[in-house]
Amino acid sequence: MSKKMLTACPVCGKPLRVTRLRCNHCDTTIEGTFETCKFCQLTAEQRDFVEVFLTARGNIKEVERLLGISYPTVRSRLDAVIEALGYRVERDQNSQRREVLQALDKGEITPEEAIRLLRS
């Protein structure tokens, strides 16, 4: 059984570096300091979200349906992934606030979730 690679230190939470690679076929080992891919730095939850997002071909309505979450939550998770990959997310505060309040009004999110989204 293959184990998932840790990307963050279990003690302090800082990123880990790969320092050894080994071929399972011929047993060759290479040591050094290697960069991991940007996607490897995402949390397991973020990687799962990206998988669903790609499976849905970027269709936010389909992501909402598959995950059972609201539009503002999909947008919030997508923004978090984009930022985790090292890109800047431009947020229009007024439209984001409107989306959150509309979702709250429709009962798609709880008041607690709305507060969290409005504070982020």
Q: Could you report the per-residue pLDDT of 22-71, keeping only the tens digit for each?
A: 999 999 999 998 887 888 888 889 999 999 999 999 998 999 999 998 88
In angstroms, the CA 18 to CA 20 distance is 6
Q: What are phi and psi of 91, to 5 degrees?
A: -115, 130
Task: Give the up-direction half-sphere exposure of residue 113: CA atoms within 13 A in the CB hemisphere.
Answer: 19
Domain ranges of the chain: 42-119
In angstroms, the CA 75 to CA 7 distance is 25
Quickly state the pLDDT bin for 119 (edges 50, 70, 90). confident
What is residue 104's predicted lDDT score, i.e. its pLDDT?
Answer: 85
Q: Is the pLDDT of residue 92 over 70?
A: no
Region 1-30: mean pLDDT is 85
Q: At a CB cut-off of 8 Å and minimum separation 6, what does 75 contact?
A: 60, 96, 99
What is residue 89's predicted lDDT score, i.e. its pLDDT?
Answer: 82
Q: What are phi and psi of 70, to 5 degrees?
A: -80, 165
